[in-house]
Amino acid sequence: MNFLEAKWENLIMANYAVEPDVLIPYLPKGVELDPFEGKFYVSLVGFMFNKTKIFKIPIPYLGSFEEINLRFYVVRKQEGRTKRGVVFINETVPYAPVAWMANYLYKEHYTAVKTKHDWQITEGLKKNRLCLEKG
């Protein structure tokens, strides 16, 4: 049985090439930066985390929320095999209890910042805005 289940919906991703020196301070032991066509990228990812369940039990009120994360790409070379992965610099959610639980259980880097989103449908196209709010 899975501890945590959820759906990632309405995902948007922006990738930015950066100098590797920017990422080195966040690089965990045992992995190295994973370039793509000779460049190193960070990704800003926003999505809706929906229908969250813990041990198959739906979570009222805190079960659907925006998540925004900043990540970069790594590789681990071990016993002749190459394994690719991501390192999260930051993961942002709107609820402090969600951030606390993820940090405590998974040793993540979540922060709680009030967020909001809205959906605009124009001429048959769905547009999504995901925003951080100050205060």
pLDDT digits (tens, 9 = 90+) for 30-75: 999 999 999 999 999 999 888 888 788 877 777 888 999 999 999 9
| 64 CB-near residues (< 8 Å, 6+ apart) | 48, 49, 50, 51, 52
pLDDT, greater one: 59 or 103: 103
Domain count, the chain: 1
HEC string for the chain: CCCEEEEEEEEEEEEEEECHHHHHHHCCCCCEECCECCEEEEEEEEEEEEEEEECCEECCCCCCEEEEEEEEEEEEEECCEEEEEEEEEEEEECCHHHHHHHHHHHCCCEEECCEEEEEEEECCEEEEEEEECCC
Give the C-alpha distances (Å, rounded to integers) separating 129 from 27, 85, 100, 116.
31, 27, 26, 8
Which residue range(s) make up the domain with 71? 4-132
Which CATH number is 67's domain given? 2.40.400.10
Checking if the pLDDT of 133 tops 70, the result is: no
Say whether pTM exceeds 0.75: yes
Q: In the prediction, which pLDDT does 129 show?
A: 57
